[in-house]
Amino acid sequence: MDIRLFRSLALRPVVALVGLAALAFAPDSSAQIDTRNWFRLNFDVFGNSRSVDVLNDATDDKLTVAPSGSFTGQYWRFEQTDRVNYYRLSCRWQGIDRVLSAQANGLATLVARSSDPAQYWKIAANQYVSGAYVLSNYAAGGNFVLKARDVAPERYRLELVPLRNNPNRALRFTSLGLIDPASITQVGQGCATNTGTLLLGPVATNLPWIGETMIGQMRNVPTGSSSFLLVGLRRPLPLDLGFLGATGCTLYVDSVADFPLPIRMNISRWTLDIPNEDRLIGAQVLVQGVALFGSQVRTSNAAELTFGAR
């Protein structure tokens, strides 16, 4: 079987792979934070039992302090702005188009993203509480910091107040993991050979991080065969290769580019050098292995690679 047959099955050629540190909080004089991570925001007055959250009401723009949990309103990201050491804050629930802002009355709410300086926040060490931090606002000035105020039993709001020695002004940031994690998802199944089922996957815990080299392998490659790695996109519908005499074998990859692989002890290893380009973050490609021996063709499962950053 000629690998060129698989090229002819592709609908279009692959031109390029399109579009990667847990805090990772850096408690130094610059008071910088890792913008690649989600964070939970906790005031010392509550410990870890309550976290900054978005009140679920008719407007979904009011901030509160709610019991900590796996709620997307408690997942916050920091985005570097054009002002040094100032960040925009947004939560996973509302997305990056709604950001934390200081209102004229001092309340902190979510508003539509813009260039308003009231949306720029700075992290600084809390001069009264060791290991804690404060959030100040560019428009309000560095002497005003974010505070959790109780307005009724079990009801809170966030507002800017003068900096003082008070645990309801002392913030801590807990990493909740990467915003853009790399991942590998198995697609379909490999077909049987005289050495076992063709299995494609990563070596050890390799994942597709930008700026790094991912190592994968295909196992149970028949002795005396030639093996290839197909790279492309997921086919709208898997193609049953029974018409080629490959009963139980399926082609999952569309837009195929192929790369010959070495074989050693019935294992073919492959490497993927991933450029360190942010535009690749979140992009996905499909890879699948093929073994050709004589007039026979066998395919592995496919693996969907999602590029991430760390």
Helix (H) or strand (E) holding 5: helix 4-9
Give the pLDDT score at 6. Answer: 46
- Which positions of the chain have pLDDT values less than 70? 1-31
262-271 tens-digit pLDDT? 999 999 999 9
For 25-178, CATH number?
A: 2.80.10.50
The pLDDT tens digits of the residues spanning 137-156 come to 999 988 899 999 988 878 89
Structure tokens at 243: 């018409």
- pLDDT confidence of residue 19: 26
Would you state the pLDDT for residue 4?
A: 54
Q: Is 117 exposed, middle or buried (0-12, 13-18, 19+ CB in 10 A)?
A: middle
The predicted structure's pLDDT at residue 1: 55
Half-sphere CA count of 235, side-chain side, radius 13 A: 19
Q: Taking a C-beta distance cutoff of 8 angstroms, is the pair 172, 44 a contact?
A: yes
pLDDT computed for residue 257 by the predictor = 84
Classified by CATH at the fold level, domain 4-20+181-306 comes out as Immunoglobulin-like (2.60.40)
What tokens were used for 55?
């009140």
Question: Got the DSSP string for 169-235?
Answer: S-EEEEEEEESS--EEEEES---EETTEE-EEEESTT---BTTSEEEEEEE-PPTT-EEEEEEEEEE
Q: Where are the domains positioned within the chain?
A: 4-20+181-306, 25-178
Residue 106: C-alpha distances to residues 58, 84, 198, 209 (Å) = 21, 23, 62, 41
Sequence-distant (≥ 6) Cβ neighbours of residue 175 within 8 angstroms: 22, 23, 24, 25, 34, 37, 38, 39
User: Is the alpha carbon torsion for 135, 139, 144, 150 positive or negative?
Assistant: negative
Report d(CA 179, CA 160) in Å as an integer: 28
- 127, with CB counted inside 10 A (0-12, 13-18, 19+), is exposed
SS3 280: helix
